[in-house]
Amino acid sequence: MGTYHCIPLLIWTYMFHTVDTILLQEKPNSYLSSKNIVGLTKDDGKMLRRTKRGWMWNQFFLLEEYTGTDTQYVGKLHTDQDKGDGNLKYILTGDGAGSLFVIDENTGDIHAAKKLDREEKSLYILRAKAIDRKTGRQVEPESEFIIKIHDINDNEPKFTKDLYTASVPEMSGVGTSVIQVTATDADDANYGNSAKVVYSILQGQPYFSVDPESGIIKTALPDMSRENREQYQVVIQAKDMGGQMGGLSGTTTVNITLTDVNNNPPRFPQSTYQFNSPESVPLGTHLGRIKANDPDVGENAEMEYRIAEGDGADMFDVITDKDTQEGIITVKQNLDFENQMLYTLRVDASNTHPDPRFLHLGPFKDTAVVKISVEDIDEPPVFSKVSYLIEVDEDVKEGSIIGQVTAYDPDARNNLIKYSVDRHTDMDRIFGIHSENGSIFTLKALDRESSPWHNITVTATEINNPKQSSHIPVFIRILDINDHAPEFAMYYETFVCENAKPGQLIQTVSVMDKDDPPRGHKFYFEPVPEFTLNPNFTIVDNKDNTAGIMTRKDGYSRNKMSTYLLPILIFDNDYPIQSSTGTLTIRVCACDNQGNMQSCTAEALILSAGLSTGALVAILLCVLILLILVVLFAALKRQRKKEPLIISKDDVRDNIVTYNDEGGGEEDTQAFDIGTLRNPEAREDTKLRRDVMPETIFQIRRTVPLWENIDVQDFIHRRLKENDADPSAPPYDSLATYAYEGNDSIADSLSSLESLTADCNQDYDYLSDWGPRFKKLADMYGGDDSDRD
C-alpha cells in the first residue's frame, strides 16, 4: 500500500514542477519564491543539482491606455534575504525606470507612473537589485526582467491609399477581378481579434462586390456597357474585431472606369450623299467628306473606307482621314462632261480592329450611296500627245517644215484653234509655226555643233475665247551632217635630234572633229599630193585615228636647216568626206645620248663655246634691272619737279574732270559766259595752275593772240594743240572736253547767250504770232522798250 501511495505523489510533484516552469516562461507575473528552480541538462547521465535563487516577483504584464485614477500596479520585488526589518533597499534601473516605472525601495512594489501605449513600445527591459542599507552591499546579484504591454483595441484599420483608381473592360463577366485594396491595423495581431480586418462594400452595389478577407473588388453584373455608363465610385469599409459589433472601421474610395472594347459597328447617319464636281478639276482633288459614327473610342473607333462598287469605281477614290475618321472622295481620273454626267458609288466603312469576341453581334461595317454630278465648263484645247519629239537634219533649208502638233477643243462647241510659239523658249526666233494647222518650220539655219537640242513650247488657244489655252513642250533634236573637217587636237611642239637615226618616232598626232557620226569617227592620214615623197620624214597611219611621224634620214643639222614644215592631209570617212591639211613644225635640236633635248637654236650652238646658259640669263637680268632703275629714277625726278599743292585722295590727276553745267540763262550771272568762247580776245590772261607748283612764280605763259570772229572749231583745235605741246598744261592724266555743236543754224537761235556781244537789241514781237505755246516767251521778251529795260 505504501508503494501505491508513493506513485501519485511523484506524478503530482512532476506535474507541479512542469506547470511551475511554464508559468515562469509564459506568465511572469506568477510569484517567484526563493525556492530552488531546477534546470535539467545531460552530463554523462548524472542528475544536475538545483541552483538556488533569492529573487521573487509576481507580475510581468501591464494593460495599455490605463485610465484609472490611481497608479497602475505592475508587480513586487522580493528576496528571501528580506526579514521585514527595513534593512534592505530595492533599486530599479532600465527602460523607463524612474519616469514610467517607480519602485517602493522598502517593499519592492513597482507601479506605472504614466499611461502606456503598446503601439509606441510593447516591451520594457528592467534590472533590479537589493542593497543592505547598513553596509551598502548587494545582498543579491542584479537580475533582469521584462514587462510586456498588453494590447487593447484602440486603433482602427487604415487603408494604404485614401483613393484608389482602377479600370476594367466593359462587357466583362461576373467575378472579373478589378483591384485589391489593403487595410492595416496597428493593434497586436497575436492578441485577440483587435487586428483582424474584414472588408465590406458600402457604395457601388449592385455593380461590384468585395472579398471580405482579401479585399479584392470584382464585377457583380454582366455586360456592363461603357457607352451607357463609364465611371463608377465604390466605397469599401475595413472593420477590425473580425467585423463584430464594437469593432473599429476605416473606409476608402475606389474610382473604377470601364475601358472600351470594340463592340459597336460603324453606322452612316444617312444612306445617300450628293456631290458636284467641275469636269476640269485636277487629279487628286477632294470632292467631299463622308463619316460613319462609331460609339467606341480609340483604336476601336478607327475605320477605313473603300469603294465597293459603282459605275465610277475607276474614276474616283476614297481615302481615310486618320485624325477625323472621315472618308474623303477624290478624283482618280480626268472627268469629261461630254462622256458622262453622273456617277453612282457604294462606299463601305468598316472597323480596322474588330474584336473576335463580338463578331456574333453582326458585321462591323456599313454602306452608303455616293452620287457625283459632273458640271460642264469651257475647257482649254487638248493636244494629241503629252509632248512632241522632232528630229531634223542640221542642213535643212530655212522655211522647211520639220514637224506638226495637233490639238482639239474637247467641248461640244468645238471652237477653232490657233497655234503659236512661246518666244520665251525661242529667244533667237529659230522656229516658227503656222497658226492654222500647227506646222513647225525653220526661220534660221541650224547648227548641231552649237545647239544639238532645242526645247520650245507651243501654245494652242481658242479663237473665240483666248483665255482658254494649253501649252505643250516640243523637243527638237538636230541630226548631225558631216560639215566639219578634222583638225589637229592640239598644237604640237615637235623636235628632232641632230643625231637621230632613220625610222625613229618623233611625234604622235591625233585629231578632232566637231561632227558626231552615228558609227563613230574614223580618220586617215596621208602626205599632201604636192609632196607625196618627203625625203626627211615619213607619215605612218596607226589605224586608230592617230599618226606617227618617223625620221627618214640619218642625222640632221641645225646650221643647214633649223626648222622643217611637214604638211599632213587628214580626212574622215563620213559622207560627204571632209578633209583638211595640218602643218607640223619640226625643229632640229641638240640632244644627249638618251635623246633628251638640250637646245634648238643656232645661236645656242655659237654661244656654247663661250658663256654658259646660266651666265647669259644672269647678264640679261642685270641689264633688265638697270633699265627698270633708270625708268623709276626719271619718273621720280619728274614727279618731284611738279609736286601737287593739294595732296589728297581726290587729286585731280587721278580723276576725269567733267563739266556738265547747263547754266540758268541771262539772269544767272555766275554761269559760264559762252561769249568768251566766241570772242577769244575777251578771255582773261592765262592763270596759274592750282594743282601743281609753278616752276617760277613770276613766269606767266601767254598764248598766241587770236583774231576776232574766229571760228569755234578752229579755236578748239588750236587749244588742243596748245595743251598737247605744253607739258605743264592741265593735268596730263585729265581729260579736257570742248563741246562743239557746229555752224550756225539757218533758223537762228532763240537763246540770249549772245546778247552781250550784240550791237543792237533784237525784235521779239514776232513771238506773239506763234500762238499760245510761245505766250510765256512773248511776255518775257516782247513788249515796250521800257519793259525790256
Give the pLDDT confidence score for residue 39 in this predicted structure: 29
Report how far apart, in Å, the C-alpha atoms of 58 and of each of 13, 33, 104, 489, 728 are.
22, 9, 15, 132, 145
> Which residues are CB-contacts of 181 (< 8 A; sequence separation ≥ 6)?
159, 160, 161, 164, 199, 210, 215, 217, 236, 238, 252, 254
Q: What is the CATH number of domain 272-375?
A: 2.60.40.60
Cell representation of residue 548: 606617227
3-class DSSP state of 672 = coil
Cell representation of residue 256: 473604377
Q: What is the CATH number of domain 382-479?
A: 2.60.40.60
Spans of the chain, pLDDT less than 50: 1-54, 56, 58-59, 604-610, 645-654, 671-672, 680-709, 756-760, 784-789
Say how many CA atoms lie within 13 Å of 752 toward its Cβ.
14
Please state which CATH class domain 487-599 belongs to: mainly beta
CATH fold of 158-259: Immunoglobulin-like (2.60.40)
Give the pLDDT confidence score for residue 28 in this predicted structure: 36
Give the pLDDT confidence score for residue 659 in this predicted structure: 54
- Distance between CA atoms of 550 and 527, rounded to whole angstroms? 13
**Architecture (CATH level 2) of domain 59-150:** Sandwich (2.60)
Q: Which stretch of DSSP H or E encloses residue 12? A: helix 2-26
Q: Which residue has the cell 508503494?
A: 3
Say how many CA atoms lie within 13 Å of 574 toward its Cβ.
19
Identify the burial level of 625 via C-beta atoms within 10 angstroms of its C-beta, where 0-12 means exposed, 13-18 middle and 19 or more buried.
exposed
Q: What is the DSSP letter of 152?
A: -
- Read off the amino acid at residue 471: H
3-class DSSP state of 583 = strand
Give the pLDDT confidence score for residue 608 in this predicted structure: 45
Identify the burial level of 328 via C-beta atoms within 10 angstroms of its C-beta, where 0-12 means exposed, 13-18 middle and 19 or more buried.
middle
Q: What are the residues facing 169 on neighbouring strands?
A: 259
Nearest residue to 473 (alpha-carbon basis) of 410, 425, 423: 425
Give the pLDDT confidence score for residue 437 in this predicted structure: 93
Nearest residue to 221 (alpha-carbon basis) of 182, 172, 292, 181: 172
- Read off the amino acid at residue 367: T
Give the pLDDT confidence score for residue 643 in this predicted structure: 52
Q: What is the DSSP letter of 625?
A: H
Task: Give me the helices (H) in 204-311, please.
Answer: none
Give the pLDDT confidence score for residue 783 in this predicted structure: 54
Identify the burial level of 83 via C-beta atoms within 10 angstroms of its C-beta, where 0-12 means exposed, 13-18 middle and 19 or more buried.
exposed
Are 59-150 and 382-479 in the same CATH fold? yes
Q: Which residue has the cell 482639239?
A: 408
Give the pLDDT confidence score for residue 16 in this predicted structure: 32
Q: What is the pLDDT of residues 529-538, one digit of tens each?
A: 887 788 889 9
683, 684, 688, 691 alpha-carbon torsion, rounded to 10°: -50
Q: Where are the domains of the chain?
A: 59-150, 158-259, 272-375, 382-479, 487-599
